[in-house]
């Protein structure tokens, strides 16, 4: 996620903006920039890479130390390479306006086309440069910049949090938000605008969390908050932040992992942005360039492998594409790949886009001349650059080593791929496709409502089972990959031994391990045609005094030691409710045992070595 900061007040603005950007670094970024007005000229300084690169450029600009208004930005690339030309702020063609932006303007290509026809030119690939020139164009028909800004924002579709500077009025900052966070920090004789509290917490704790559809007009000693649609003033409550700086970077959550678990509804919303068209179709232009696979090979590591294993079910069931999901460290050393460039496609999944085994597997596939797709979260990462085409999960940076929201974003993209290929293969009934798209549209809201009670239940169960020495996680069908993931989460976070198993395999040996000290987590959604089978597996375990936590839906008849009921979703999308439960259970066990939740021992966020 990008970071925005704006300052207007009685102090040198540039050092404050740079300091604010430093406090937003935890959000992850790949370029940065700032802007201010000096001698009636708009000055933009930007750099790719880390803030030190920007600071070096700023130092050479002596002018910057006297200005008392400035805006700054750290960019997490969602589209458009992480290069200086795509860094913010972006300036309007007439060099009057400078804009920083967080979010995705879904209709920016249409708006860009209209502006091009009016003679505008663009130096970057970003939606932000389109937006700042749209505001500039609206200045020709509106009485003032405020009305022009409001008109442009009403024309933009999608998520935005923006801060705007005007060369002609350097003592005013404009800000607005829709579906992206933006906070107003009220100082004495100075005001702040930022994506998150840490940016200005050293200067003020009095904040207003702006709401969707609000515009802020800020001067050093005054401000007003207006409604975007009619520019009527609104009164907003000022809140006092009690958090420490570090707590603020976690948004008030105890750990980044918990914050990222609770970000998953936003990840679903952001992942669908620009992909779920109004005419009920999934839009994946990235895949238009390569053949529809006759056979798809999914290759990944760890949690990403589990996401791929889950996606296999949808791609086979909905798109009728035979899928083979493999662990990258195995795939890369196979004697023979037996791939046919005219039929096979290899999909590599990697949050970081830098995992050595997955990157090596991608290169092996390319040596075999088959087309490759990368499913990544980090724009411009090695896998993203080397795959023949890349799908970005747009999940924002994942700070915690244990992968949570990344898996949800990967599963979402695999769902989109399955629906996309099903349409092209004409292999899915209209009814099923429509009902699935309907579920996708409401999924984020649904999950957001359920997460708090999931967390409550996870905390209660964690206290009961935290002393276990070993755990089984069992699932069938699309729940088998989730069982693997649940076990991985418990292992890597709490250091408790856990095994994920296909439930049907229990009688082939593992059940010998069951005793009263070896609990089992059974994934038992109501609708799965495997429900009766998983129920009998559970009975077999209980017959040997094994304790069972059954993650199931209301109304099922499982007599488990602990029933964990979550709402029902038809079909494999139930996974989007099951996964957070497994994440929260492991999180709470780890926290209860006093482990280092965000940085578990021996683990790295990206395994860039073999
Ligand atoms: C998951 O919690 C782990 N951090 C790990 O298994 C991770 O998923 C794996 O290393 C793959 O990483 P990638 O998605 O960045 O390739």
pLDDT digits (tens, 9 = 90+) for 17-26: 999 999 988 7
Task: Give the residue among 292, 301, 290, 307 at the shortest CA–CA distance from 390.
Answer: 290
Find the Cα–Cα–Cα–Cα dihedral 164, 169, 173, 178, rounded to 10°.
-40
Domain positions in the chain: 3-246, 256-592
Task: Give the residue among 489, 498, 490 at the shortest CA–CA distance from 470.
Answer: 498
27 Cα to the center of ligand 1, angstroms: 19
pLDDT for res 82: 83
366 Cα to the center of ligand 1, angstroms: 22
Q: Which CATH number fits domain 3-246: 3.40.50.1980, 3.30.2140.20, 3.60.20.10, 1.10.8.290?
A: 3.60.20.10
Predicted TM-score (pTM) of this structure:
0.80
Ligand 1: atom nearest CA of 352 is 15
118 Cα to the center of ligand 1, angstroms: 47
Q: How many CB atoms lie within 10 A of CB 365?
A: 27
pLDDT for res 397: 81
507: helix, strand or coil:
helix
Ligand 1: atom nearest CA of 358 is 16
Q: What's the rounded Cα separation, in Å, for the pair 257 and 379?
A: 22
399 Cα to the center of ligand 1, angstroms: 12
Catalytic residue numbers?
Answer: 2, 605
pLDDT for res 279: 66
Using an 8 Å Cβ cutoff, are 576 and 411 in contact? yes
The two tokens of residue 504 are: 């049907």
Q: What's the rounded Cα separation, in Å, for the pair 319 and 315?
A: 5
Q: What is the mean pLDDT of each run of 10 residues along the chain (610 residues)?
A: 92 96 85 95 94 92 85 85 91 98 91 97 95 98 97 93 97 94 94 94 93 96 95 92 78 92 95 81 91 97 98 97 98 92 97 92 96 91 91 89 96 97 94 92 96 98 97 96 98 97 93 94 88 91 95 94 95 96 98 93 76
336 Cα to the center of ligand 1, angstroms: 26
pLDDT for res 541: 94
pLDDT for res 81: 80
Q: Which fold has domain 256-592?
A: Rossmann fold (3.40.50)
303 Cα to the center of ligand 1, angstroms: 5
Q: What's the rounded Cα separation, in Å, for the pair 324 and 297?
A: 5
Task: Give the residue among 363, 371, 368, 360 at the shortest CA–CA distance from 330.
Answer: 360
Ligand 1: atom nearest CA of 492 is 2
89 Cα to the center of ligand 1, angstroms: 33
Using an 8 Å Cβ cutoff, are 321 and 315 in contact? yes
Ligand 1: atom nearest CA of 404 is 2
Mutate to test the pocket of ligand 1, among 403, 490, 586 (most ligand atoms within 8 A of CB): 403
* Element of type H or E holding 247: helix 245-249
Using an 8 Å Cβ cutoff, are 404 and 458 in contact? no
Q: What's the rounded Cα separation, in Å, for the pair 290 and 273?
A: 22
Task: Give the residue among 366, 352, 297, 351 at the shortest CA–CA distance from 327.
Answer: 297
The two tokens of residue 387 are: 């795959």
Q: Whose CA is nearest to atom 16 of ligand 1?
A: 350
Q: What backbone phi and psi angles, to 5 degrees, belong to 14?
A: -65, -45
Number of H helices, E strands in the chain: 17, 24
Mutate to test the pocket of ligand 1, among 261, 300, 304 (most ligand atoms within 8 A of CB): 304
The burial of 44, by beta-carbon neighbours within 10 Å (0-12 exposed, 13-18 middle, 19 or more buried), is given as middle
Q: Whose CA is nearest to atom 4 of ligand 1?
A: 402
Using an 8 Å Cβ cutoff, are 550 and 522 in contact? yes
Ligand 1: atom nearest CA of 403 is 2
Using an 8 Å Cβ cutoff, are 354 and 378 in contact? yes
Mutate to test the pocket of ligand 1, among 607, 608, 610 (most ligand atoms within 8 A of CB): 607
Which residues contact residue 295 at a Cβ distance below 8 angstroms, ignoring those fewer than 6 apart? Answer: 321, 322, 323, 324, 340, 343, 344, 345
Task: Give the residue among 567, 556, 402, 417 at the shortest CA–CA distance from 493.
Answer: 402
Looking only at the bridges linking them, the beta strands covering 41-48 and 90-91 are unpaired
pLDDT for res 26: 76
Which residues contact residue 309 at a Cβ distance below 8 angstroms, ignoring those fewer than 6 apart? Answer: 298, 325, 480, 481, 484
The single residue listed with the structure tokens 């609770």 is: 262
List pocket residues of ligand 1, CB cut-off 6 Å. 301-304, 350-352, 355, 358, 401-403, 492, 606-607
Looking only at the bridges linking them, the beta strands covering 520-524 and 548-552 are parallel
Q: What's the rounded Cα separation, in Å, for the pair 169 and 404?
A: 45
Q: Whose CA is nearest to atom 8 of ligand 1?
A: 303
Ligand 1: atom nearest CA of 302 is 6
| Model pLDDT for residues 32-78, shown as the tens digit of each residue | 999 999 999 999 999 998 899 999 999 888 777 789 999 999 988 77
pLDDT for res 468: 96
Mutate to test the pocket of ligand 1, among 298, 301, 583 (most ligand atoms within 8 A of CB): 301
| Model pLDDT for residues 76-93, shown as the tens digit of each residue | 877 678 889 999 999 999
């Amino acid at each position: 996620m990008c970071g925005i900061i704006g300052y207007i007040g009685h102090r040198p603005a540039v050092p404050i903006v740079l300091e604010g950007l430093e406090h937003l670094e935890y959000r992850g970024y790949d370029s940065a920039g700032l802007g201010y007005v000096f001698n009636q000229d708009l000055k933009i300084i930007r750099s790719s890479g880390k803030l030190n690169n920007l600071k070096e450029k700023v130092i050479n600009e002596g002018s910057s130390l006297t200005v008392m208004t400035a805006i700054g930005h750290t960019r997490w690339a969602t589209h458009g390479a992480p290069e200086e030309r795509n860094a913010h702020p972006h300036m309007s063609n007439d060099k009057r306006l400078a804009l920083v932006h967080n979010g995705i303007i879904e209709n920016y290509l249409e708006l860009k086309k209209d502006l091009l026809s009016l003679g505008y030119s663009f130096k970057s690939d970003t939606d932000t440069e389109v937006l700042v020139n749209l505001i500039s164009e609206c200045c020709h028909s509106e009485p003032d910049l405020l009305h022009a800004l409001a008109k442009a924002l009403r024309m933009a579709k999608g998520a935005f949090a923006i801060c705007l500077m005007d060369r002609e009025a350097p003592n005013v900052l404009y800000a607005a938000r829709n579906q992206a966070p933006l906070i107003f920090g009220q100082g004495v004789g100075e005001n702040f605008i930022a994506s998150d509290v840490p940016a200005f917490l050293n200067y003020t704790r009095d904040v207003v969390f702006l709401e969707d559809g609000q515009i802020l007009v800020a001067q050093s000693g005054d401000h007003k908050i207006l409604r975007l649609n009619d520019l009527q003033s609104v009164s907003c409550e000022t809140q006092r932040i009690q958090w420490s700086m570090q707590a603020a970077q976690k948004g008030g959550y105890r750990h980044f992992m918990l914050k990222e678990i609770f970000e998953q509804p936003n990840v679903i919303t952001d992942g669908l942005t620009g992909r779920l068209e109004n005419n009920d179709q999934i839009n994946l232009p990235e895949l238009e360039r390569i053949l529809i696979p006759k056979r798809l090979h999914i290759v990944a590591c760890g949690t990403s492998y589990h996401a791929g294993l889950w996606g296999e079910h949808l791609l086979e069931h909905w798109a009728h594409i035979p899928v083979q999901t493999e662990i990258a460290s195995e795939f890369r050393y196979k004697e023979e790949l037996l791939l046919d460039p005219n039929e096979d496609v290899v999909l590599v999944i990697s949050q970081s886009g830098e995992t050595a085994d997955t990157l090596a597997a991608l290169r092996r596939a390319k040596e075999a001349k088959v087309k490759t797709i990368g499913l990544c979260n980090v724009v411009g990462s090695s896998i993203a650059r080397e795959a023949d085409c890349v799908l970005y999960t747009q999940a924002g940076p994942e700070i915690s080593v244990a992968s949570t929201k990344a898996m949800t974003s990967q599963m979402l993209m695999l769902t989109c791929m399955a629906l996309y290929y099903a349409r092209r293969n004409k292999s899915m009934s209209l009814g099923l496709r429509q009902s699935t798209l309907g579920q996708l549209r409401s999924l984020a809201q649904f999950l957001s409502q359920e997460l708090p009670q999931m967390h409550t239940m996870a905390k209660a169960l964690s206290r009961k089972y935290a002393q276990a020495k070993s755990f089984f996680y069992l699932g069938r069908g699309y729940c088998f990959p989730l069982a693997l993931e649940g076990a991985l989460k418990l292992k890597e976070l709490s250091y408790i031994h856990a095994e994920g198993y296909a439930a049907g395999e229990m009688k082939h040996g593992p059940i010998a391990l069951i005793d009263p000290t070896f609990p089992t987590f059974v994934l038992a959604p109501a609708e799965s045609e495997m429900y009766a089978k998983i129920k009998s597996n559970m009975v077999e375990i209980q017959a040997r005094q094994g304790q069972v936590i059954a993650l199931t839906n209301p109304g099922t008849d499982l007599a488990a030691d602990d029933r964990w009921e979550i709402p029902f979703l038809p079909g494999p999308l139930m996974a989007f409710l099951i996964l957070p439960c497994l994440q929260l259970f492991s999180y709470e066990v780890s926290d209860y045992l006093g482990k280092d939740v965000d940085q578990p021992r021996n683990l790295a966020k990206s395994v860039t070595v073999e």
